[in-house]
């Protein structure tokens, strides 16, 4: 079997000159083969940038567009192809967007392999430990207490028993944060897990430590990205002294960044995004590192049903992969791009058992939101 084409498809709901929210754009990859099998992947990054990294012509031996690295290759040789892509895009890649692009292709290669062997990806990864994974829902803070109560009530009505609040107006003003958390905790009661995501907004470690202490009464399940992820010393200090679990890592790529992050900051929870960290292949290394450093792996995930399916296959095959983020986006790219989107059943997501990734794309929707410059 040979790779015959690599498509990088940029999707976007609002027009290019309008603001775009989380989940309203996406970069989908399709890898075609001479056997007729087509693998699907995605990267949750800047779609135009990832598209350029895949489509670019060859500049020299370490600056190749990924399509050129792959054409004519056997898609089943995933590990060798991952290393080839990494080396041959090294000057523009190695971290960040270059790895985001590899992530999308890696997922598509696993999809092809699963279809070829007639088994779900979690079987190729060594076998599933469970048939469903518990989910949590993320919502961004609204300006008023009532609006926050309404939105969190909607999450609980879906059956979720774990929620996370972050982004929007949250994390800038301690007095406001306190008011929002008080309203949310009152709405959900004491038995629902509540976490917060700061997106690195707290100004430094002493400030973050004071905040963690001030928020103790809310019995938070974890505090996510309290400081920017490059503030390793600050995060280490916080991890050691805060009386709450600290998490982070959704922006990191490759085992190398995760090793530094885990070793130097010792987070309780690490949150790689499978469409950014290096795909399914690299996430396996991150999982083993997390185990080594005693951290729980709870993946980040807030894009299309392709990301959701890839994350589910991965978690199903992890001994301790028992919590997944379930997007609360109303974007058609989440709700409709994958026709057989994995549902939220109560507070769990069922593990898919179809061969490969098992996703079926809505071609009409894909064409409707496709950006063609």
Which span sits near Mg ion by CB under 5 A: 128-136, 145-153, 190-198, 349-357? 190-198
When asked if residue 273 is in the footprint of Mg ion (CB under 5 A), the reply is no
Which span sits near Mg ion by CB under 5 A: 53-61, 191-199, 212-220, 304-312? 191-199
Q: Report the residue number, 25 or 197, with the smaller CB distance to Mg ion.
A: 197
How far the first Cα of the chain sits from its last, in Å, is 32
Beta-carbon neighbour count of residue 24 at 10 Å?
20
> What's the length of the chain?
373
Q: How far apart are CA 169 and CA 34, in angstroms?
A: 50
Are 66 and 41 spatial neighbours (Cβ–Cβ below 8 Å)?
Answer: no
Find the binder of Mg ion among 24, 177, 197, 231 (CB under 5 A). 197
Q: Report the residue number, 33 or 328, with the smaller CB distance to Mg ion.
A: 328
- Which residue number is nearest to Mg ion in terms of Cβ? 197
Q: Report the residue number, 54 or 184, with the smaller CB distance to Mg ion.
A: 184
Name the minimum Å distance from CB 197 to Mg ion. Answer: 4
Q: Report the residue number, 224 or 231, with the smaller CB distance to Mg ion.
A: 224
Q: Which of 274, 292, 270 is nearest to 283 (CA)?
A: 274
Residue 17 burial (C-beta neighbours within 10 Å; 0-12, 13-18, 19+): exposed
Q: How far apart are CA 216 and CA 178, in angstroms?
A: 11
Name the minimum Å distance from CB 246 to Mg ion. Answer: 12
When asked if residue 73 is in the footprint of Mg ion (CB under 5 A), the reply is no
Binding mask 211-230 for Mg ion (x = CB under 5 A): -------------x------
Q: Torsion angle, CA of 115/118/122/124, rounded to 10 degrees? A: -90
CA-based torsion, 97, 98, 100, 104: positive or negative: positive
Q: Report the residue number, 115 or 304, with the smaller CB distance to Mg ion.
A: 304
Q: Report the residue number, 81 or 181, with the smaller CB distance to Mg ion.
A: 181
**Token digits of residue 66:** 């990924």
Q: How far apart are CA 189 and CA 194, in angstroms?
A: 10
When asked if residue 44 is in the footprint of Mg ion (CB under 5 A), the reply is no
When asked if residue 88 is in the footprint of Mg ion (CB under 5 A), the reply is no
Residues engaged in binding Mg ion (CB under 5 A): 197, 224
């Amino acid at each position: 079997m040979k790779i015959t084409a690599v498509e990088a498809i940029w999707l976007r709901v609002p027009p290019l000159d309008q603001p775009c929210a989380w989940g309203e754009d996406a970069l989908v990859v399709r890898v075609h083969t001479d056997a007729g099998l087509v693998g699907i992947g995605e990267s949750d990054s800047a779609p135009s940038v990832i598209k350029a990294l895949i489509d670019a012509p060859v500049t020299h031996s370490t600056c190749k567009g990924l399509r050129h690295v792959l054409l004519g290759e056997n898609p089943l040789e995933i590990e060798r192809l991952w290393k080839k892509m990494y080396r041959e895009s090294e000057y523009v890649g190695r971290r960040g967007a270059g790895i985001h692009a590899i992530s999308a292709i890696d997922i598509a290669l696993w999809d092809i392999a699963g279809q070829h062997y007639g088994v779900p990806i979690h079987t190729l990864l060594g076998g599933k430990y469970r048939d469903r994974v518990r989910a949590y829902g993320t919502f961004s803070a609204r300006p008023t207490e009532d609006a926050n109560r309404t939105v969190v009530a909607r999450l609980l009505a879906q059956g979720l028993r774990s929620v996370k609040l972050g982004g929007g107006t949250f994390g800038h003003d301690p007095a406001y944060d306190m008011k929002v958390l008080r309203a949310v905790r009152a709405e959900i009661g004491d038995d629902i897990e509540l976490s917060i995501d700061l997106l690195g907004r707290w100004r430094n470690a002493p400030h973050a430590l004071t905040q963690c202490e001030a928020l103790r009464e809310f019995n938070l399940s974890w505090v996510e990205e309290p400081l920017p992820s490059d503030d390793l010393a600050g995060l280490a200090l916080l991890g050691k002294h805060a009386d709450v679990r600290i998490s982070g890592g959704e922006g990191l790529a490759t085992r190398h960044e995760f090793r530094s992050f885990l070793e130097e900051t010792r987070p309780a929870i690490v949150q790689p995004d499978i469409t950014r960290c290096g795909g399914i292949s690299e996430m396996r290394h991150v999982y083993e590192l997390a185990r080594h450093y005693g951290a729980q792996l709870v993946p980040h995930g807030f894009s299309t049903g392709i990301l959701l399916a890839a994350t589910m296959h991965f978690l199903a095959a992890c001994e301790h992969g028992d919590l997944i983020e379930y997007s609360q986006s109303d974007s058609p790219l989440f709700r409709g791009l994958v026709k057989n989107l994995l549902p939220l059943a109560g507070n769990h997501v069922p593990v898919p058992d179809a061969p490969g990734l098992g996703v079926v794309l809505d071609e009409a929707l894909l064409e409707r939101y496709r950006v063609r410059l």
